[in-house]
Amino acid sequence: MQQQMSQHVSAGDARGDSVTQFLTFVSNGEVYGVSILNIREIVSYGNITRVPMMPDFVAGVINLRGSVVPVVDLALRFAQEPAARTKRSSVVILDVMYEDEEMEIGITVDVVNEVLDIRASEVEPAPSFGTKIRTDFISGMGKVDNQLLVLLNIETILSVEELSAISER
């Protein structure tokens, strides 16, 4: 998949308009996108073990092939009502940088949709107001078929420093 991504970007750069692939998914009825470069894998929503003294939006941890991976409930992180889990619910495992190390963190989503190619020229800056989530959680707005797709800033949403500070309160 990484090689495909490189080919897309290279072809786009030759025309001066790079292409990035985004995984799209639904959380609480809203469609969001995340760059596939941040995604490690997608797993079925399963047994999540709650951890005491964590913020409400930290759903808990999962065992992923012997590794303990923290999982954030995306709807709760966005200060929304928790979504009902269905058989289509998933956990998207993302790579997040923390103190020069890559760390895996999962986010719960209602439904995983598809991967879209979005050109740099089709991405608008994040709006300064009028969104259902904090504006610093948004990296931009992608134009797809005459509609706007909220592109998430995973580094801010899953900021390990912020999550640690919140859990220490």
Domain boundaries, position 111: 2-167
Domain count, the chain: 1
pTM listed for this prediction: 0.82
Which CATH number characterizes residue 70's domain? 2.40.50.180
Alpha helices in the chain (DSSP H): 2-14, 74-77, 154-157, 160-167
Per the structure block, which two tokens stand in for 101? Answer: 């190390």
Per the structure block, which two tokens stand in for 76? Answer: 């709760």
Residues 43-72: tens digit of each pLDDT: 999 889 999 988 889 999 999 999 999 999
CB–CB of 117/19 below 8 Å? Answer: yes
Chain mean pLDDT for the chain: 84
Select from 93, 88, 85 the least CA-distant residue to 65.
93
- pLDDT for 121 equals 92
Residues 84-110: tens digit of each pLDDT: 889 999 999 999 887 778 889 999 999
